[in-house]
């Protein structure tokens, strides 16, 4: 027993500890606790403050949830520069109208982009001519036949876009842009009467990511319309009264 006592005394002496004073008192003396300010003294919380604090925390968590951005699965992803994201028109996909849409109007000035940028010069009519036509409510590409009386009685194949040129994004009012598939017309014939007989819907108007995409789809539309207008079902419309009379 003395052995342990001597060891304890030696350890206490090396650490300047008085064996007569309890160990917890030595700790308190070597680590004094600062006095607590009276303003921070513990005060029991009232039931009302507890409820109020809980409500504030709940509202705070709710606000954080509401501020998080929503991910809507119905929003389509941004289209890339590849044509695979845009379906080309085809003969099989044409929606043939039960009743043809007939239009007569005076060719008006446009932006000149058909011949300058796209390689398909168009003759433009105001879209207001179609305001009361139910079958022409959709913006998109249509096909049919056309005639300009100034150039005789010849009826030619025609593909037309009805819409607002959403790829360019600078057209407010609807415009009917008709590309007449013949080389008998002058580069410009503004102010002349043009007659159209629209018999089918090819595809909706699309906002392409590049001019090249737009050109490729227009060229495909012309090719498809040229083939589709040779079908026997379309022959009757070549001599439609809206074109001839």
Mean pLDDT to the nearest integer, 30-57: 52
**What is the Cα–Cα distance from 136 to 133, expressed in whole angstroms?**
6
**What is the Cα–Cα distance from 196 to 130, expressed in whole angstroms?**
12
Superfamily of domain 91-244: Riboflavin kinase-like (2.40.30.30)
pLDDT at residue number 13: 52
| Digit-coded pLDDT (tens) for 158-193 | 999 999 988 888 778 899 999 999 988 888 899 999
| Digit-coded pLDDT (tens) for 34-45 | 544 444 444 555
Most confident of 16-30, 84-98, 228-242: 228-242
Residue 21 CA: distances (Å) to CA of 10, 16, 17, 18: 15, 11, 8, 6
Q: How confident is the model at residue 65 (pLDDT cuts 50, 70, 90)?
A: very low
Q: Is the pLDDT of residue 33 over 70?
A: no
For the chain, give every residue range classified as CATH 2.40.30.30: 91-244
pLDDT at residue number 83: 38
pLDDT at residue number 54: 54
Q: Is the pLDDT of residue 234 over 50?
A: yes
Q: Is the pLDDT of residue 71 over 50?
A: no
Question: What Rg do the C-alpha atoms of the chain give, in angstroms?
Answer: 42
pTM above 0.75, yes or no: no
Q: How confident is the model at residue 67 (pLDDT cuts 50, 70, 90)?
A: very low
Show which residues are catalytic.
177
pLDDT at residue number 114: 75
Mean pLDDT of the chain: 77
| Digit-coded pLDDT (tens) for 98-123 | 999 999 999 998 877 776 778 889 99
Q: How is residue 36 written in tokens?
A: 């607590």
Beta-strand relationship, 193-204 and 95-106: antiparallel
Percent of the chain with pLDDT over 90: 49
Residue 141 CA: distances (Å) to CA of 74, 116, 222: 26, 20, 10
């Amino acid at each position: 027993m003395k052995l342990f006592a001597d060891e304890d005394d030696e350890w206490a002496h090396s650490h300047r500890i008085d064996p007569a004073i309890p160990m917890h008192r030595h700790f308190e003396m070597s680590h004094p606790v600062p006095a607590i300010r009276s303003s921070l003294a513990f005060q029991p919380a009232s039931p009302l403050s507890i409820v109020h604090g809980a409500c504030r925390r709940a509202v705070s968590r709710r606000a954080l949830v509401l501020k998080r951005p929503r991910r809507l699965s119905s929003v389509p992803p941004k289209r890339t520069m590849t044509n695979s994201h845009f379906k080309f028109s085809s003969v099989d996909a044409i929606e043939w109208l039960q009743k043809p849409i007939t239009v007569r109007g005076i060719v008006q000035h446009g932006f000149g982009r058909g011949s300058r940028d796209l390689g398909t010069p168009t003759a433009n009519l105001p879209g207001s001519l179609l305001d009361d036509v139910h079958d022409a409510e959709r913006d998109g590409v249509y096909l049919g036949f056309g005639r300009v009386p100034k150039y005789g009685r010849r009826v030619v194949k025609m593909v037309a876009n009805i819409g607002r040129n959403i790829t360019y994004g600078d057209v407010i009012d609807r415009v009917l842009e008709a590309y007449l598939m013949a080389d008998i017309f002058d580069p410009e014939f503004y102010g002349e009467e043009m007659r159209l007989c629209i018999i089918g819907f090819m595809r909706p108007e699309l906002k392409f990511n590049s001019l090249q995409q737009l050109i490729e789809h227009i060229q495909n539309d012309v090719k498809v319309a040229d083939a589709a207008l040779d079908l026997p079902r379309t022959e009757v419309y070549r001599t439609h009264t809206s074109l001839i009379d």
